[in-house]
Amino acid sequence: MDAFNPQQTTELVSRIGARKSHMRIDKLWWNSFMAGPLLGFGCASSLCTTASPWYQENAPGLIRTIGALVFPIGLVMVVLSGADLFTGDIMFMTVAFLHRRVTIWDVLKIWVVSFFGNLAGILFFMAIIIGYGGVFDEAVYKNESITGAISRAQVPQWHQIFLKAIGANWLVCFAVYGSISARDITGKILACWWPPATFVALALDHVIANMFFIPLGIWNGAPFGVGYYIWKSMIPAALGNILGGTLFVGVMYWYLYLAGEGTIKIDSSLGNFLDAAMEAGGPMPPNGRSVGESKNHSDGTAAETTDDSGPIDGQTNRQLKSSGQYMTSGIGQELGPETYTENNGLDRKDHSPDDLV
């Protein structure tokens, strides 16, 4: 199977979260800032598509679905560029924390900086590129932005926004999770496309996307102000997104695939058909067999012992804390200890792999 299995993917999510905790605060801020406009492009494209009065009146479900299929452009650009999206960082940092690779202060730092970085970036995009740029100056777009802001912030009750936000980030985090399991660009794009399209089609609440839609409606004359938006929409959407990303993706997949499982091997080889079949079996030991188990040839003679702890295909040893196995994938090499020693000016001779995460 040309993808990492769920256990390997969850291990990679944990390692990515650990690496984020080492990012310089200024880089974390600007990486989060850049995620705002990238997601904003998808939001603007979706709004442009749904601003169709005839369809809104005669086929509202159809035009909402078409707009939903356009929206994921933003998330694809965020994932492919490695930008920090607050709702995705919820999953990364939850798994890394449960895996004991980061502290609670690391989690809060990443969440707070990415949240406000996303806010600054998407408001910049909304005001400068879209607003002053006159992208939606026509009446049909202004009316659609006002209607959308009212339907997101004014019509639903507080608890409804909170509950819808749980579902929204459940789907967004699953999209990011799926993109990590893919080994090529096409697979990552497809993995990022359908879950966010689903949450948009269902009109669920994503706190960062709403930072574009609702302020744009206020910009164009929606009948409420910033304070109302923060209390009625931003707070319940943020809390719901946190619960959806932590509980239904981060905690659940950590429990299923990492809790009590020991070290996890990350291997870029495609494996054989048996390995592919075993990947679909859910939480189980790697390859469905114990380390050191021998395999027999058809003539009854013993083959060489299978030992998952050694280097594969001549690759060098690349280890991380809580993961003592060898890694041969590209992302495994990127998340290896050499990255930390080079970026932090450490002398590898004076540090063990366990000191580098």
Q: Per-residue pLDDT tens for 41-83?
A: 999 999 999 999 999 999 999 999 999 999 999 999 999 999 9
Question: What three-state secondary structure class fits 79?
Answer: helix
In this structure, of 62-66, 86-90, 172-176, 258-262, the range with the lowest mean pLDDT score is 258-262
Percent of the chain with pLDDT over 70: 74
Rounded CA-CA distance 131/113 in Å is 25
Please report the pLDDT score of residue 275 as a whole number. 52
Question: Can you list the positions of beta strands (E) in the chain?
Answer: 294-296, 302-305
Please report the pLDDT score of residue 267 as a whole number. 66
Give the model confidence (pLDDT) of 97-133 as tens digits.
999 999 999 999 999 999 999 999 999 999 999 999 9
Residue 261: pLDDT band (50, 70, 90) is: confident
Smallest CA-to-CA distance from 196 within 218, 173, 177 is with 173
Tokens encoding 14: 């944990």
Looking at the predicted structure, is the pLDDT value of residue 263 above 90? no
Residue 274: pLDDT band (50, 70, 90) is: very low
Rounded CA-CA distance 28/21 in Å is 9
Rounded CA-CA distance 90/215 in Å is 23
Rounded CA-CA distance 81/322 in Å is 27
- Encoded amino acid at 89, one letter: D
In this structure, of 83-87, 152-156, 271-275, the range with the lowest mean pLDDT score is 271-275
Residue 265: pLDDT band (50, 70, 90) is: confident
Looking at the predicted structure, is the pLDDT value of residue 341 above 80? no
Question: What three-state secondary structure class fits 117?
Answer: helix
Residue with more model confidence, 237 or 308? 237
Distances (CA, A) of 210 to 14, 105, 118, 351: 28, 27, 11, 45
Please report the pLDDT score of residue 338 as a whole number. 53
Rounded CA-CA distance 31/236 in Å is 25
Are 7 and 286 contacting, i.e. CB atoms less than 8 angstroms apart? yes
How many Å from the N-terminal Cα to the C-terminal Cα in the chain? Answer: 30
Looking at the predicted structure, is the pLDDT value of residue 29 above 90? yes
Rounded CA-CA distance 293/150 in Å is 62
Please report the pLDDT score of residue 285 as a whole number. 52
Residue 305: pLDDT band (50, 70, 90) is: very low
Are 296 and 281 contacting, i.e. CB atoms less than 8 angstroms apart? no
Average pLDDT of the chain, as a whole number: 83
Looking at the predicted structure, is the pLDDT value of residue 141 above 50? yes
Residue 269: pLDDT band (50, 70, 90) is: low
Rounded CA-CA distance 61/69 in Å is 12
Please compute the mean of the pLDDT values over residues 163-183 and round it to a whole number.
97
Helix or strand (DSSP H, E) at 208 = helix 207-219
Number of neighbours of residue 103 by Cβ within 10 angstroms? 12
* Sequence-ordered list of residues with C-beta below 8 angstroms from that of 211, at least 6 positions apart, any chain: 36, 118, 119, 122, 123, 126, 234
